[in-house]
Amino acid sequence: MPRGNCKGQGWWHGKFRGCGYRLTAGREAILDILSKSEGHLSAEDIYVKIHPKYPSVGLTTVYRTLEVLSNLGMVYKLDFGDGRARYEFAQGPKGAHHHHHLVCTQCNKVIDYTDFIDEEVELLNQTEKGLGQKYKFRITNHLIQFYGVCEQCSGKK
Ligand SMILES: [Zn+2]
Ligand SMILES: [Zn+2]
């Protein structure tokens, strides 16, 4: 595949050895599904969506590929306390769907919120700046997840 042929493809193409490099069908399919779906998908959910289009991609491949993608920081692996890993597309802090999580440890409900409070934005900016200087580390993204008890669950005692 010639270079410069990556128009109309997802930004992640450049992350794998430049635009001329073909993603494996599995990675491509998984990123495609995650980038188009909102919410949090388990490996099984992803497998069910992928299977009709890519019958050659098995559940084991899905698991393995999700591991690789989460190590690359392109996908978040999430633990909501129900014993099942969930995955979502890792939108950078400036991405339209960038959000944080409030996880209820009683009912495992997850609230995705994007209307960050001012203190939160300020704290994150300062923290990223300070950490970056201290560890000479260029921070490009973060995953913020708070655990607690939701309104409904704290109502019933
Ligand atoms: Zn954020
Ligand atoms: Zn989320």
For residue 9, how far is its CA from the centre of ligand 1 (angstroms)?
25
CA distances for 25 relative to 4, 13, 32, 61, 78, angstroms: 20, 12, 10, 11, 24
For residue 116, how far is its CA from the centre of ligand 2 (angstroms)?
14
For residue 60, how far is its CA from the centre of ligand 1 (angstroms)?
31
DSSP 51: T
For residue 36, how far is its CA from the centre of ligand 2 (angstroms)?
13
For residue 109, how far is its CA from the centre of ligand 1 (angstroms)?
19
Q: Is 128 in contact with 118 (CB distance < 8 Å)?
A: no
The residue written with tokens 């300062």 in the block is 126
Phi, psi of 64 (to 5 degrees): -65, -45
For residue 32, how far is its CA from the centre of ligand 1 (angstroms)?
22
Q: Is 89 in contact with 48 (CB distance < 8 Å)?
A: no
Q: Which run of H or E residues covers position 12?
A: none
Provide the token pair at 23: 């993603």
Mean pLDDT in consecutive groups of 10 residues from the start of the chain, 157 residues: 46 52 72 89 95 89 93 91 91 87 93 94 96 96 95 86
The length of the chain in residues reads 157
For residue 87, how far is its CA from the centre of ligand 2 (angstroms)?
8
The residue written with tokens 């994007």 in the block is 114
For residue 76, how far is its CA from the centre of ligand 1 (angstroms)?
13
Instruction: Tell me the CA end-to-end span of the chain in Å, nearest whole number.
Output: 61
Per-residue pLDDT, 117: 94
The closest ligand to the CA of 113 turns out to be 2
Per-residue pLDDT, 119: 95
For residue 144, how far is its CA from the centre of ligand 1 (angstroms)?
6
Q: How far apart are CA 93 and CA 99, in angstroms?
A: 8
Q: How far apart are CA 92 and CA 41, in angstroms?
A: 19
Q: How far apart are CA 49 and CA 10, in angstroms?
A: 19
